[in-house]
Amino acid sequence: MEAIVLAAGYSSRANAFKMTLSLGPMSVLEQTISKFEGICTRVIVVAGYQAEIIQEEINKINNNKAYSFQIKLVYNENFNLGMFSSIQKGCSEVKAGTSFITPGDCPLVKKETVQLVAEHNGNVVIPSFNYKGGHPIKLSCEVKQKILETNPASNLRVVLDGYDKTYITVDDPGVLKDVDTPEDYQKVIDYYNKRTQQELHRDGSLGSI
């Protein structure tokens, strides 16, 4: 299984290059990528605007040698056409039978959620929290091929509307949280810190039993 991580946008609403913003000990991009450890053999990062910054970030991640999967940066020369062009670019690089797709600014998804989605079969498998679909989405080879054959002026929603979707209910608000604005970033930091404290408290309690 492989994953496509979309990191080609302008970050125009974030007032910063959001992929390299800090979140705990990692960047937003690494937090997103890290959830595929032990699940995917390769993560394809699609870059566009300021791709050299994404490359530097991937070099840092690779230097840490913390992950078993390969990270491949792919440059989308048509990133100015919008996200669907980056999705198509990523899909053109996928070799595995099934693949995940997620924006690079969705750093709060639990690894358990990714594992759960990976275990379910279907052309389109989507994690759902409070009856809202989120990320990452798992796609079959058939859907990937359909994306590649679709007019670049279209979008992912139009393609996915042609398939039955399998929604997996998860106890994970992180599937819905991304970083579009400075306010979003602050909310993501607050949620990350709160969850980290809860996990430390839980682990400490378990250790005292």
Banded pLDDT at 208 (limits 50, 70, 90)? very low
pLDDT surpassing 80 at residue 125 = yes
pTM of the model: 0.92
Residues 17-31 pLDDT 10s: 789 999 999 999 999
> Of 88, 165, 93, nearest to 133 (Cα)?
165
| Residue 175 buriedness (CB in 10 A; 0-12 / 13-18 / 19+) | buried
Please measure the distance between the N-terminal and C-terminal CA atoms of the chain and give it in whole angstroms. Answer: 38
pLDDT surpassing 50 at residue 123 = yes
- Around 41, how many Cα atoms within 13 Å sit in the side-chain half-sphere? 6
DSSP helix/strand/coil, 46? strand
pLDDT surpassing 60 at residue 12 = no
In angstroms, rounded to a whole number, what is the distance separating the alpha carbons of residues 186 and 74? 29
In angstroms, rounded to a whole number, what is the distance separating the alpha carbons of residues 175 and 183? 18
Mean pLDDT of 107-134: 96
Residues 187-206 pLDDT 10s: 999 999 999 888 887 766 54
Q: What is the dihedral of CA 174, 187, 194, 116, to 10 degrees?
A: 0
In angstroms, rounded to a whole number, what is the distance separating the alpha carbons of residues 176 and 135? 7
- Around 128, how many Cα atoms within 13 Å sit in the side-chain half-sphere? 12
Confidence at residue 209, expressed as pLDDT on a 0 to 100 scale: 42
Average pLDDT, the chain: 92
H/E stretch holding 139: strand 137-139
In angstroms, rounded to a whole number, what is the distance separating the alpha carbons of residues 180 and 159? 24
pLDDT surpassing 80 at residue 43 = yes
Residues 109-121 pLDDT 10s: 999 999 999 999 9
| Residue 148 buriedness (CB in 10 A; 0-12 / 13-18 / 19+) | middle
